[in-house]
Structure 1
Amino acid sequence: MKKILIIQTASLGDVILATPLIEKLHHFFPKAKIDFLVKNGSETLLRNHPYLRHLLVWDKSEKKYKNLLELLRFVREEKYDLVVNTQRFASTGILTALSGASYTTGFRKNPFSLFFTRRIEHKISADENGPHEIERNQKLVEPFTDSRLFKPRLYPSKHDDAKVSQYKTRQYITLSPGSLWFTKAFPEEKWTDFVRRIDSDLMVYFLGSEKEKTIIERIIKNSGHANSLNLAGKLTLLESAALMRNAKMNYTNDSAPMHLASAMNAPVAAVFCSTVPAFGFGPLSDISFIIETDEVLKCRPCGLHGKKSCPEKHFRCANRIDVKKLLSCLKN
């Protein structure tokens, strides 16, 4: 294996959960040139990665398929020995099938997997003994590596560390209250209640995109926690990861920040509302806590991904979570 391409153009969390493939393939083929294809917006995660040669970016915002065609031309010219497709969508399936690579591997659910060299099942269920996504991904390369599991890893630069060093002069936690989906987000009033109960001397750094700025301002104001700082929209992804690394605890939803913490092996407490960890997307840090309701709900999980609103109109999977569970994570 001299030239390898890994494909993951889905969400930020999916990209992070594909990084063990970089670690594993570099371990077994240390001289191989490894490239990684992401969608626009995710490239900052892998910037300056020590094991990557090229970071390919598929711009889906404008002229999506014209840009995909240009990527295909580049991929064919590279003549990869191996293309690893971690997605189950037709667009990347076409790219893989037509890549001209000596060996292609992906999941059977991809509509074009029939044309891959190797295809395997991608099994997701609510069974607690089900595999994690990093296990499913690494099964794709198991025939020419081994069955050992490598964990996600990101590489903040010295500049990233320097940017957040000013926030590390005292003990702190981070809190990332946002999510793309309503049913994956712990309610604002619950976060507010939690922050209100935190020791007033403990610094709380709120993380998120510019979109979360307003909700965070409300949480800070209504909680009355003076030692709180809204960093939403002010830090890059890798700067946020660098800040998470030294936190006493990182509080997240079932969302990208949880995976950021895992990639830094930073302590994390992840709140699961409508989704369940058994799907295989839970935290992977050595110190990690899963927070969910104790109530048995027939409607939970209501789907693999989050929804824009609670189908049952009560949102008990979130509202019935006692904030004392979040506080207990600080005592361990």
Structure 2
Amino acid sequence: MKILVIRFSSMGDIIYTTPIVRCLKKQIPGAEVHFITKPAFKYIYDNNPYVDKLLLLKPNLSDTIADIKAEGYDHIVDLHNNLRTATIKLRTGIKSSTYKKQTIRKWLSLTFNLKLVPPVHLVDRYMLAASVLGVVNDNQPIDYYTRGDHQLDKLLPASHQNGYVAFVIGATHFTKRMPNEKIINLCRQINLPIVLLGGNDVKGNGEMIKQALGNNIYNACGVTSLDESVFLVSRATKLIGFDTGLTHIAEAFKVPIVSVWGGTVPELLGVQPYKVNEVLVAGVELPCRPCSKFGLPACPLGHFKCMYDIANNEIADFINA
């Protein structure tokens, strides 16, 4: 049986498709499993042993449809469910099953601060779309495979090579990030050396934190590649991170995680840490939270209590235990 799984974006959503791909490949005898995504997210499936072929979305949808028709698929598992995937299914005529987004329930929950979306993880929602093919959830974590042969002594100073806490300080939007001064206060309570991870956009934040705390901090933001950052995550003693892709990738490894949530909430999108043995989900209940599904450039009310009111002691106790 030849199966195409579709998910075009974004990083976190694609990461959570990996258990579905694994189950399709392992549970359907002789299955040939292909995956299609945007070129920007190709790296998520690089070296994944459960994907027989990776297709990339082309600028012209007709070209992508032609590629799909040429493959002769028996079934499409649509884990994106948008106009583009609907067009693909219609124009190819291939039998398909589709992930249900619960768009209206999510909008009502966000707009009126209601809890209409059951706290079911995105993996389990995806799995329903694949279940028509007879697969069941194997209850294993997500998959992620690094590409390089990395070494700690090439990436970290000697002071950080015998145990460290990875702190992912980057996130796309302001309301997902903990303010620098709060990060500094939290890091003061942590006993192990700390490696800060993130992109160039938070390199300056990392330098500010390092200047305040000294040699206990190594700022790898904007220094390590994504693949190197994932390697550092995989070797960390514990990890602290916000609602961002690298934090979700960390779930593929047996690393205890503190998952910190500000203006967004994991239950709304079903992206609470998945199959992690040791996890602390840090967030505070407020009438204004969540203020968005995906994050905002500033706190709409100006107080940013969803981050400032998180108890540092609780996080530090988890990390130091």
Residue 214 in 1 paired to residue 204 in 2?
Answer: yes
Alignment-derived partner of residue 42 in structure 2: 43
Alignment-derived partner of residue 33 in structure 1: 32
Alignment-derived partner of residue 13 in structure 1: 12
Gaps of 5+ in 2: 110-114
Residue 89 in 1 paired to residue 82 in 2?
Answer: yes
Alignment-derived partner of residue 132 in structure 2: 143
The counterpart of 1:76, out of the listed 69, 78, 86, is 69
Amino acid at match of 1:178: G
Q: Which runs of 4+ in 1 moved over 6 A?
A: 120-123
| 8 Å contact kept, 2:190–2:320 | no
Amino acid at match of 2:178: F
Distance 1:123 1:139, change over 3 A: farther
Residue 178 of structure 1 aligns to a residue whose secondary structure is: coil
Amino acid at match of 1:73: A
Distance 1:191 1:323, change over 3 A: same
**Shift of residue 10, structure 1, vs aligned partner:** 1.2
Residue 292 of structure 2 aligns to a residue whose secondary structure is: coil
Gaps of 5+ in 1: 110-119
**Shift of residue 164, structure 1, vs aligned partner:** 4.0
Report 1:171-250 matches (<5 A).
171-199=163-191, 202-222=192-212, 224-250=213-239
Alignment-derived partner of residue 123 in structure 2: 134
TM-score (normalizing by structure 2): 0.87
**Shift of residue 163, structure 1, vs aligned partner:** 4.0
Alignment-derived partner of residue 152 in structure 1: 142
Distance 1:95 1:163 in 2: 43
Residue 236 of structure 2 aligns to a residue whose secondary structure is: coil
Residue 3 of structure 2 aligns to a residue whose secondary structure is: strand
Distance 1:85 1:265, change over 3 A: farther
Distance 1:233 1:54 in 2: 31
**Shift of residue 50, structure 1, vs aligned partner:** 1.1
Distance 1:8 1:128, change over 3 A: closer
Distance 2:29 2:229 in 1: 29
The counterpart of 1:299, out of the listed 266, 288, 294, is 288
Alignment-derived partner of residue 287 in structure 1: 278
- Cα RMSD of the aligned pairs, angstroms, is 2.3
| 8 Å contact kept, 1:254–1:282 | no
Distance 1:105 1:165, change over 3 A: farther
Amino acid at match of 2:165: I
Distance 1:288 1:43, change over 3 A: same
Distance 2:250 2:209 in 1: 22
Distance 2:217 2:262 in 1: 25
| 8 Å contact kept, 2:236–2:255 | yes
Residue 24 in 1 paired to residue 16 in 2?
Answer: no
